[in-house]
Amino acid sequence: MFSRWISLAVIAFTPCLSIAEELPSFALPSTVNVSVSSSSSETQSASIGAQLMLRKNFWLAGSLDSAKEKTDDFESTTSGGSVSIGSDPLDEYSFEAGVDGFGVDNQYRVRELRIRGTLAPDSIFELENPGVEIGIEYRIGRFSFSNSPNIIFNTTEVELETRTLHLDATCNVGRHWTFRAYVERTTLPSAFSDLNRPLAPLFIPESAISTAVSWPDDEGGGTIGYNRGRFGIRVGLSQKHAAVSGAVSALHSLGIDYRLTHKLLIGARSTVSRSLDDTSLDPIQTFGLDLSVQF
């Protein structure tokens, strides 16, 4: 009799297990993003990227971008791209790794290896997490450029290594507000300062020198975002300090998003970059358009 009751219990419980196994898990949508922009410094840029969601919300992302810049009758085209892979961003702890790169053909190239961890625990000190997320990112970069052998660098190809630590915190307040702040610090070798010598342009491409002397050693800022229904708006402010030139600049940004359909999002953004230590320089204004499609 006892064994019969066990058999009946197992038969009754089996459908419950089947239903639990068949319950669908929440899957994030994949996206394709296209962006174009133009600035008052005679720079036009365009980019296309995609994020493909895999099983268990793992994801794979890639992008390509290009920018044309004209300065003092000198025109250059910068191209770049990135590849990333990450774990489920909805988990309490998620991870991401990627490779980014950009540069000007036959002049210079920047490559960065990026590792990032994000913490969004369900509870903090036994209290329910109100919507706080903390990100920690570490990047190792390689800045390489062609060179005519000289007293500064005695090889035809020079590689300088950079190391960057980035920290950010995001707080979601209620259903509509998002606050984000970040800070990062970069360690550069002393050879970056050698590119700022008066005779360096005779041996090293001008675009490589411009990139090196404006490379920031510290940067920080924040954004405030508001989303309601189909509409979203973001306001941001950041500031960076160039390690070699010592220039300090601030960037003001404004972004507006509108969801046309469940899968189609359009956006417009405007930024103003201005020098804080040289008021004689005109601010650089940039306007851009974004399109995002989910599938």
Backbone angles phi, psi at 183, to 5 degrees: -150, 145
Cα–Cα distances in Å, from 211 out to 43, 63, 136? 15, 22, 25
More confident residue, 8 or 168: 168
**20-68, pLDDT tens digit by residue?**
444 456 789 999 999 999 999 889 999 999 999 999 999 999 999 999 9
Can you read off the two tokens belonging to residue 262? 């469940």
Whose CA is closest to 215, among 240, 243, 187? 243
Residue 138, pLDDT > 60, answer yes
Residue tagged 């020079």 (tokens) = 158
- By CB neighbour count within 10 A (0-12 exposed, 13-18 middle, 19+ buried), where does 12 fall? exposed
Alpha carbon distance 180, 176 (integer Å):
14
26 DSSP 8-state letter: P
SS3 state at 16: helix
pLDDT band at 245 (very low <50, low <70, confident <90, very high): very high
